[in-house]
């Protein structure tokens, strides 16, 4: 019974989100990829646009997981900033957007600027 196996259902939700994002990104001339760095820090998806802008995206089925995902996205940004302090050139670009795609019903922007977007809001 899939509805009782939240972990598997979460993986299915993540794949649904990636599929939808690929469709929408391609219509904008963009692309979607997965990212894991050498420190094993990962984000569920990175949306790249042809003009150089990019977004870091996490997928969370339940609203209880939003805070955890937001902390993770902010941790990635802080690591980029920390790495840039030690570089005089070739600095890493910070993401233009931080987003959490959820199974919820309400889209909003958190005080820290992270966008919370229900999967149902991803449309043309």
In this predicted model, what pLDDT tens digit does every residue of 77-109 receive, in sequence order? 998 898 888 888 888 889 999 999 999 899 999
pLDDT at 84: 87
Q: Which two structure tokens, joined as six digits, stand for 44?
A: 């569920």
What would the CATH number be for the domain defined by 2-121? Answer: 3.90.1570
Is the separation of the CB atoms in 61 and 10 below 8 Å? yes
The predicted-structure confidence for 14-71, as pLDDT tens digits, reads as follows 999 999 999 999 988 999 987 766 655 689 999 999 999 999 999 998 888 999 999 9
Task: Delimit the domains of the chain by residue range.
Answer: 2-121
Rounded Cα distance between 84 and 92, Å, is 6
The rounded distance, in Å, linking the Cα atoms of 110 and 113 is 5
What pLDDT, on a 0 to 100 scale, did the predictor assign at position 88?
81
């Amino acid at each position: 019974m899939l509805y009782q196996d939240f972990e598997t259902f979460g993986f299915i939700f993540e794949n649904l989100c990636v599929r939808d994002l690929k469709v929408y990104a391609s219509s904008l001339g963009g692309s979607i990829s997965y990212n894991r760095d050498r420190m094993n820090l990962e984000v569920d998806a990175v949306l790249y646009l042809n003009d150089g802008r990019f977004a870091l995206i996490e997928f969370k089925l339940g609203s209880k997981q939003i805070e955890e995902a937001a902390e993770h996205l902010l941790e990635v940004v802080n690591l980029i900033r920390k790495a840039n302090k030690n570089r005089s050139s070739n600095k890493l670009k910070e993401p233009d957007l931080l987003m959490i795609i959820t199974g919820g019903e309400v889209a909003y922007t958190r005080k820290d600027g992270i966008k919370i977007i229900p999967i149902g809001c991803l449309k043309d």
